[in-house]
Structure 1
Amino acid sequence: MSHGPINHGPQSHGSMSTPPVDVTPLVEATDIVKRYGPTVALADGRLTVLPGESHALVGRNGAGKSTLVAILTGLQAPDAGTVRFDGESAPPLADRDAWRRKVACVYQKPTVVPELTVAENLFLNRQPRARGLISWRRLRTEAADLLATWDVHVDPEARTAELKVEDRQMVEIARALSFGARFIVLDEPTAQLDNREIERLFSRMRALQDSGVTFLFISHHLQEVYEVCQTVTVLRDARWITTAPVAELPRSALVEAMAGESITEHARSRGTVTGAAPVVLDVRGLTSTAYDGIDLTVRRGEVVGLAGISGSGKIELAETLAGLHTPAGGSALLEGEPLPFGDVRAALDAGVGCVPRDRHEQGLVPGMTVGDNTTLSVLDRLGRFGFVGTDRRSGFATELIDRLDIRTEGPGQPVSDLSGGNAQKVVMARALASDPRLLVLINPTAGVDVKSKESLLARMDSAREDGTAVLVVSDELDDLRRCDRVLVLFHGRIVAEHPAGWRDHELIASIEGVDHG
């Protein structure tokens, strides 16, 4: 994709006519930079939204979308760059009322108070009063008037907790409009909706556009961008890539913009695991609230990847196989024996090693040493009758430290002293310490430097060469490139399988739910 100039052209699906190009943008963010410590969350954020349009903001996980939204809604100040609303500078961060008159964001997680009524939520902290007391009659009347103004068909006296997701979203939009905001950010608004609810939401969005409301629409489902938006902006690697009319941007070009120049690269070639290799993990019909009817196998010496957007069910599936959850139905066999569910210790004893998704919350005991953390999974091997031999543990830990090239002063150093990359190596060392038959890796290289990432992936390769079956869940294409196969989950179901050699744009198209058929 060229980094061409911003160009607003014809709108898709016969929606509102395009505003003339000399119209003052309703929202304009220019040259936005935002850092969190050493992490650059946005290096070049840009966005120009014209009045009355639905403007899509897309990009892979980590592209910078959430950071840009936090800046556009006044939750964060940029380190550099400017934000303007209707040609005027954004309000000071402390002036929350001024921000509420400019912009509101409807998030996946509700920001309404579930136990209060719709009317109470609409006018929370600004209820109409008479003689110093809340006037409940006026509250109900004003709520009904507000809902009618924006054609929101919800009972003002209904408890918000009892509303359907789509109605709750409309209540949040009506509340934002009541402050005077005409720019609404919708963050993954369809994630919890079925197809009919999505179509109703889109109809309401079009009606609100006709009434002068402007939307920034954030979604991983690219087909929705083509259905409801007129313009799309792509972020990649914390930078603005392009802004273009949706009607003039083929889906393949949109995926290329999200994937980057590496779309021509092939995955590194792998020796094919033959069908004669014994099956280590055999999953049949596994079902829970997060995934449905999962069938998969992993053979000895095979690395199988699980990919998908957030909410696809991939992490919950991997955590189930590691003993963290109990599914509602289905089965999983590990070398012919039933895999224990809902019991991490039992899964470990059965031969499952796991690198969990969050090393801080799930992976490390911060008050313990490197040696303690690396050997937690094998204490029964290092002593008898509940006593652990100090020398044996130190020797075993030293072997693991050397094997994973953990940069530490020794087994006695507090694990909290280590860098992120070395801390993640400790988590990997513990997963490998028990010589697992199945190794489950969840975001194994998240938040580590390039050198540590390569070291961790080399350990994954070593495990495969030792005959271990490996299941790796990741948002990082570099992690998935080491796999023999990548299975893609979408809305809790496996929708595609890509053998080694896939191209980036092909995999991303599957992950984002784009149908090229």
Structure 2
Amino acid sequence: MSTPLVEARGIVKRYGPTVALADGQLTVLPGESHALVGRNGAGKSTLVTVLTGLQAPDEGTVRFDGEPAPPLADRDAWRAKVACVYQRPTVVPELTVAENLFINRQPTSRGGVISWRRLRTEAAELLDTWDVRVDPEARTADLKVEDRQMVEIARALSFGARFIVLDEPTAQLDNREIERLFTRMRALQESGVTFLFISHHLQEVYEVCQTVTVLRDARWITTAPVADLPRRALVEAMAGESIAELEVQLRELDDAAPVLLDARGLTSESYENVDLTVRRGEVVGLAGSSGSGKIELAESFTGLYTPTAGTAQLGGEKLPFGDVQAALKAGVGCVPRDRHGQGLVFGMSIGDNATMTVLDRLGRFGFVGTDRKRGFATELIDRLDIHAEGPDQPVSDLSGGNAQKVVMARALASDPRLLVLINPTAGVDVKSKESLLARMDSARDDGTAVLVVSDELDDLRRCDRVLVLFHGRVVAEHPAGWRDHELIASIEGVDHG
């Protein structure tokens, strides 16, 4: 057996009390495409930061070609070993392809002036060597996503690296572009390039990879040849459960309940031709990988985006797009995806944050009654069991769980007809998580239509049904009582037919 090109053993990485990786292991042989899979939070990204020298592990070792990894500060040595092509571009969009390929190392004349002719010539030679058919003088911003990715790969190869990490490379590509990327990957493999392929779409793993490593709950689970691992076994390894042992509990649905949200043919850059209904007192989940379009779809209903096509009605009235205030007036409440950036004003009190969507109800002619606001905020604090000294306490003093409850309180304060929850339990403790999900249940009992987007299966388990988006399209619908492996298989794009 040949010496592994890359070998990571016993990798441990902690961030304060959080263990991001408890036992990371990876062995990649020269010339293969090796898949790294696992659900969100499994530890994939943390392992990549260690493999690419962005962070040192707290414990464990990384070796390249049998030799210890370079010191963290020696960036040139790392560039000669490994490179990562991320979902988001690391090229400078306004520069040409040639300028990006040789940024910070442009060929110069004797006088130290950049030789633009040599730059273009060397760029053309580099692209030709690796059969990347892109004009070196093209502006990088004008390239297709797949061509931009190939430019980033060529740049990495020019440093001498022969180990390329592809992090969700197909998230923004259509089927034809994906097939072209895979064809290029196979050709590069034949030229001696080795890939670590990270994807939420297991179908792709079977198409392009020879070996797969599974992480779950921050630990290494298994490494096996793709050909020897049936899809069912791979999904079981990711889900951490045996398919045969599961029991299904079904929830009764009220088919007679009126439809509150009715969306038809919604289309944007992130999703395509989506039909969606949510009944009164129904909780509908949206699941999918990071590039599926699920968050952008949900945020469209809250007024953050305007779809390029399609319509939506809430309670029989046209839902306004592209206007958050109008959506709020129409009856939409929202827990946004990021409580720090979108959910809270940290310079204000709990009471101010919780009531800012209903100030018109707490006074007249633009004047807000202080006592009324404090009383209303106190009711919300009690209702959501927010652990605080009172409504005047700064929201910045709160723990993550209690801060998220304030965001939920504000969403519920306006008695919305449609409640949109985006990653509602992200980064909160177990007790706060249960409290937040209980509020979701009570909103349903009150007759609210609830749309919940989450990467957490526990959040989705309480839904009456879950729609799965894959590359911007709804590809599956799972009624309550679904099994984890079934939902994960749909999210990962595995065809069980």
**Fold shared, TM-score > 0.5 on shorter chain:** yes
For the pair 1:102 / 2:77, whether they are aligned, the reply is: no
Where 2:257 maps in the other structure, the secondary structure is coil
Q: Is the contact between residue 268 and residue 481 of structure 1 (CA under 8 Å) also seen in structure 2?
A: no
Q: 1:266: Cα distance to partner?
A: 4.4
Out of 75, 83, 87, which is 2:66 matched to? 87
Shift of 1:324: 1.6
Map of 1:121 onto structure 2: 100
| Structure 1 CA distance for aligned equivalents of residues 341 and 412 of structure 2 | 19
Once the two structures are superposed, the pairs formed by residues 360-371 of structure 1 within 5 Å of their partners are 360-371=340-351
Q: Which amino acid is the alignment partner of residue 449 of structure 2?
A: A
Q: Map of 1:366-377 to 2, 5 A cutoff? A: 366-377=346-357
What letter corresponds to residue 24 of structure 1 in structure 2? T
Aligned 8 A contact 1:339 1:350 in 2: yes
| 1:312-363 Cα deviation digits (max 9, x unpaired) | 1111111111122111121111111111222222211221111111111111
Partners of 2:358 and 2:93 in 1: CA distance: 46
Q: Distance in 1 between matches of 2:242 and 2:394?
A: 40
Structure 1 residue 48 corresponds to structure 2 residue 32: no
Distance 1:262 1:400, change over 3 A: farther
1:149 aligns with 2:133: no
Alignment-mate amino acid for residue 347 of structure 1: A
- Alpha-carbon spacing, 1:356–1:265, altered in 2? closer, same or farther (3 Å): farther
Cα offset, 1:269, TM superposition: 4.1
- Could you say what secondary structure the match of 2:356 adopts? helix
What residue is the counterpart of 1:58 in the other structure? 37
TM-align CA RMSD: 1.4
1:199–1:175 distance in 2 versus 1, CA, 3 Å? same
Is the aligned partner of 1:505 residue 2:485? Answer: yes
Q: Which runs of 5+ in 2 are unaligned?
A: none
In the TM superposition, 1:155-170 aligns within 5 A as 155-170=135-150
C-alpha separation between the residues in 2 aligned to 1:112 and 1:311? Answer: 20
Cα distance in structure 2, aligned partners of 1:167 and 1:269:
47
**2:200 counterpart of 1:217:** no
Letter in 2 for 1:276: A
> Residues of 2 paired with 1:268 and 1:450: CA distance?
23
Contact 2:171-2:292 at 8 Å conserved across structures? no
Change (3 A) 1:158 1:330: closer
Pairing partner for 2:386 from 406, 409, 413: 406
1:451 aligns with 2:434: no
Q: Equivalent residues in 2 for 1:35-434 (5 A)?
A: 35-131=14-110, 132-261=112-241, 264-266=245-247, 268-270=249-251, 272-434=252-414
2:420 counterpart of 1:440:
yes
CA distance in structure 2 between the aligned counterparts of 1:505 and 1:337, rounded to whole angstroms: 38
| Separation of aligned partners in 1, 2:230 and 2:130 | 34
Instruction: Give 1:77's aligned amino acid.
Output: A
TM-score (norm 1): 0.93
Distance change (3 Å), C-alpha of 1:50 and 1:362: same
AA aligned opposite 2:164: I
Partners of 1:137 and 1:335 lie apart in 2 by: 64
What is the distance in 2 between the residues matched to 1:342 and 1:237?
38
- Residue 40 of structure 1 aligns with an amino acid whose one-letter code is V
Q: SS of the counterpart of 2:346?
A: coil
Q: Distance in 1 between matches of 2:249 and 2:432?
A: 19
Query: Offset of 1:220 from its aligned partner?
Result: 1.2
List per-residue Cα deviations over 1:468-514 (Å, max 9, x = no partner). 11111111100000011111111111111110110000011111111
2:455 aligned with 1:475: yes
Q: 2-side partners of 1:393 and 1:207: how far apart?
A: 66
1:144: how far off?
Answer: 2.3
Query: Comparing 230-239 with 339-348, which one deviates more in the overlay?
Result: 339-348
Residues in 2 aligned to 1:196 and 1:441: alpha-carbon distance in whole angstroms: 34
Q: How many residues align?
A: 495
Q: One-letter code of the match for 1:411?
A: P
Cα distance, 1:116 vs structure 2: 2.2
Counterpart Cα distance in 1 of 2:248 and 2:295: 23
Residue 267 of structure 1: CA displacement? 5.9
Equivalent in the alignment of 1:516:
496
3-state SS in 1 of match to 2:435: helix
* SS of equivalent residue, structure 1 residue 261: coil
1:107 and 1:187 in contact (8 A); partners too: yes
Alpha-carbon deviations, 1:17-36, whole Å to 9, x = none? xxxxx211110111111112
Secondary structure at the counterpart of residue 452 of structure 1: helix
Give the TM-score taking structure 2 as reference length. 0.97
Distance 1:266 1:407, change over 3 A: farther
Report the secondary structure of 1:29's partner residue: strand
Task: Give distance in 1, aligned partners of 2:104 and 2:435.
Answer: 53
Q: Distance in 2 between matches of 1:382 and 1:154?
A: 61
SS of 1:133's equivalent?
coil
**1:448 partner letter:** V
Identical positions, percent: 86
Residues 172 and 291 of structure 2 are in contact (CA less than 8 Å); yes or no, is this contact kept in structure 1?
Answer: no
